[in-house]
Structure 1
Amino acid sequence: MISKKHITDRFISYVTIDTESDPASQTTPSTKKQWDLANKLVEELKAIGLSDVTIDENAYIMATLPSNIDQEVPTIGFISHFDTSPDFTGANVKPQIVENYDGKDIILSEAENIVLSPDYFEDLQQYKGQTLITTDGTTLLGADDKAGITEIVTAMEYLIQHPEIKHGKIRIGFTPDEEIGRGAHKFDVPKFGADWAYTMDGSQIGELEYENFNAAGAVVTVKGKIVHPGYAKGKMINSMYIAQDYIDALPKKETPEHTSGREGFYHLHTIKGDVEETKLYYIIRDHDKEKFEERKAFMLQMAQTINSKYNNEPITIDINDQYYNMREKVEPVMHIVDIAEEAMKSLNITPLIKPIRGGTDGSQLSFKGLPCPNIFAGGHNFHGRYEYVPVESMIKAVEVIVRIAELTASKKVK
């Protein structure tokens, strides 16, 4: 039985270390502070008894739990990331523990009147009576994905302490910079040496995912011309107005706040501008590859349409693909999803198999030759002040990892 205090203490020891990544940085990891947790994890993995514990010059961590059976079985892996999102501050995280949650509002910050309410976040109701870890309302929590790291470390520790549970060779990996789309960029798949792996990076208990968005980033640059406003007639070209025309040209209902399931979107997440130049930063998402390509083409087409109204063609667009839907790489080896599903059912967890409205390290790793479905880590409301994680969900995730290891060793799979 996993101790609630033990797993809580481990999780809090991770989230109180600031590991926010930085998309503007060109280094790996993108922030020096990610090394603080990375180095701590290396020492902890050695302390619990794992072998082949390594950390490379880019802070990628790998370690091995050797097989304890005679027959040859597949080597499996479990992977999580230790950076947190730059969408909201991860500095000075002060977790709050809510024991025996009563199903009512949780005051995160009385001084600032910040409330985590089931009236708005309905998922809270399913955790009534459980122990929740929340923020204090001023930072994110970091359950994405320090809950996953907590679960993997705790599962490996549990397997070491319980040699009667038979398993094959298990590899674990922890990565930097997943939140800025680079978590798998420098992941050495041959060195990892697993036949397949699972990222522990999903949300609510039961999630099991092997589909994700196809993703691209787009920078729309609009050039204008600054002239003294008192003498600007016929001369000034205000880039911000042209940028607004471009924004209005994209479908209003095909945005994150109006889509769900497998529906794709255009998301304008940042604007930087003045009269002389405006930049629009978009992400483009769609589960369907053909529709994904159509979205990119449509953005280029709208730029041409607006440019045709001006002599100087003020709009240019730079579009770069970020990752692709891992479904095409996982479906040929669906037994790896089946094992995870069987593990959950054997623990009385209802599998929630659905597409990810986002991406994980697993999507890029799958295209690098390591098929890698995603399993729940337990947290909710990632990347913001309302983030929380039920301790019981983390414990269940540990049990799923252990059960997957056990099932893989008992089946004749390749």
Structure 2
Amino acid sequence: MSVKDVFLDLVSYPTASDETTGTTPSTPGQKVLGAHIVEHMKSIGIADARMDEMGYVYGTIPATAERGTTVGFIAHMDTYGGVSGENIHPQVIENYDGGAIALGGSCLSLSPAAEPALLGHVGKTLITTDGTTLLGGDDKAGVAEILVAAEEILRENKPHGTVKIGFTPDEEIGEGADHFDVEGFGCDYAYTVDGGQLGGLDYETFNAASAVVEVEGVSTHTGGAKGKMVNSMGVAMEFCALLPKGQVPELTESREGFIHLDAIHGNVEHTVMQFLIRDHDKELFRQKKELMEKAAAYINAKYPTQPLALTLKDSYYNMREMIEPRMEIVENMERAMKENGVEPHSEPVRGGTDGARLSFMGLPCPNICTGGANAHGKTEYVVLEDMEKIKDIIKTAIYNVE
């Protein structure tokens, strides 16, 4: 099957993850897609394709020649849950002319005025949404590229070493590596295929933590509230006012970290806030967490009878420190890209991948591009020719392993 056909098939399966369920995978649709992928893998000759009880999919392309290294390729099956991924209706725009693209009957469009990168895709085929859902290119583009690369490698039967394939659930909620069988995967190193536009080769991610702030209040009748009421929502606002106003996602870029209020819900008696804490620098990351603790201590000193509860939890760390001692892994992929006429570029990822966690679990795992853009939104799109090029890059990287 072509990259296009495999991708359009994959995005027809709703697989949004959900951090509130407490299960693995967090949503049943991920196992439905996993089972479908296993059948696809078997149909192209991956005899040991399987899905475990947690929804992780594994398979092997057996070696056709003696090689000293086993390499793996990993992508995730879930999609971001903050935007609908149900009933996706992709638009295939062939021979893109450089103009604005209406996204179905919605009020949304893709335009070079807002997306200058589109001008680099004139003449290519774009796959977009219809403006009502996300597309699912993050990361079903990566899944499709790995699957088609595997199919072609098996058909071509050229000399190569053992190759492992892994597809994970729940990456979007930070749990994709939780139950990944690194030992059973048996690779010397791997690559996640979960990046953006063509040429991306990333090995530096955020350090990441989550914070939950719970505020208890006292509710009374508003007519006689003086000296009695403690409005938990007001206390929550005071807490937020203690945080640096310029260190938020919408005002930062590159290596600048942030503290992001991701969700808030509450009433007079009880308010809960969820924060994301991110920084590439380990010391600045520590300082941001310490600032949250100091803000909580200040609020608790001011309202001693209604304590605020702060729960901090590290999510993942900057994988750069695990990759730099093994830079040949990055150099091998740079070579594969250049052999396919693609100039690689590495930038600090303003996010994380399964590879960030896996690198600290003993599996060095840089991240490569998928050919997609605008992930997590209704203007998401992928470039078909770039996806095909990435499929070829994966194949070249496999054939180049010594």
Please give the TM-score of this superposition, normalised by the length of structure 1: 0.95
Counterpart of 1:382 in structure 2 is: 375
Look up the equivalent residue of 1:155 and give its one-letter code: A
Look up the equivalent residue of 1:163 and give its one-letter code: N
Please give the TM-score of this superposition, normalised by the length of structure 2: 0.98
Look up the equivalent residue of 1:360 and give its one-letter code: T
1:32 aligns with 2:28: yes
Counterpart of 1:109 in structure 2 is: 104
- Distance across 2 between alignment mates of 1:143 and 1:310: 47
1:269 aligns with 2:262: yes
- Distance across 1 between alignment mates of 2:68 and 2:9: 34
- Distance across 2 between alignment mates of 1:72 and 1:350: 27
**More displaced 10-residue stretch of structure 1: 119-128 or 369-378:** 119-128
Deviations 1:173-222, CA, capped at 9 Å, x for gaps: 00111011000100000100010000000000000001100100001111
Residues 216 and 323, structure 1, Cα contact 8 Å, conserved in 2: yes
Deviations 1:96-131, CA, capped at 9 Å, x for gaps: 000011111100033x32211221122211111100
Residues 67 and 160, structure 2, Cα contact 8 Å, conserved in 1: no
Q: Given the alignment, which residue of 73, 79, 82 partners 1:84?
A: 79
1:44 aligns with 2:40: yes
Unaligned runs of 5+ in 1: 410-414
- Distance across 1 between alignment mates of 2:9 and 2:39: 14
1:346 aligns with 2:351: no
Residues 51 and 66, structure 1, Cα contact 8 Å, conserved in 2: no
Q: Given the alignment, which residue of 138, 150, 164 partners 1:144?
A: 138
Residues 75 and 194, structure 1, Cα contact 8 Å, conserved in 2: yes
- Distance across 2 between alignment mates of 1:64 and 1:235: 66
Residues 217 and 306, structure 2, Cα contact 8 Å, conserved in 1: no
Give how far 1:314 is off: 3.0
Counterpart of 1:234 in structure 2 is: 227
> Percent identity among equivalent residues?
49
SS of residue paired to 1:243: helix
Q: Given the alignment, which residue of 40, 55, 60 partners 1:59?
A: 55
Q: Given the alignment, which residue of 14, 18, 21 partners 1:18?
A: 14
1:135 aligns with 2:129: yes
1:213 aligns with 2:213: no
Counterpart of 1:158 in structure 2 is: 152
Counterpart of 2:358 in structure 1 is: 365
- Distance across 2 between alignment mates of 1:99 and 1:134: 11
- Distance across 1 between alignment mates of 2:67 and 2:2: 33
- Distance across 2 between alignment mates of 1:121 and 1:224: 45
Counterpart of 2:244 in structure 1 is: 251
Give how far 1:9 is off: 1.1
- Distance across 1 between alignment mates of 2:67 and 2:166: 22
Deviations 1:214-258, CA, capped at 9 Å, x for gaps: 100001111110001111111111111111111111111100011
**More displaced 10-residue stretch of structure 1: 117-126 or 97-106:** 117-126
Counterpart of 1:412 in structure 2 is: none
Give how far 1:311 is off: 3.0
Give how far 1:313 is off: 4.8
Counterpart of 2:308 in structure 1 is: 315
CA RMSD of aligned residues (A): 1.0
Unaligned runs of 5+ in 2: none
Residues 108 and 136, structure 1, Cα contact 8 Å, conserved in 2: yes
Deviations 1:257-289, CA, capped at 9 Å, x for gaps: 111111110010101110011111100000111
Matched residues, number: 402
1:98 aligns with 2:110: no
- Distance across 2 between alignment mates of 1:59 and 1:398: 24
Counterpart of 1:179 in structure 2 is: 172
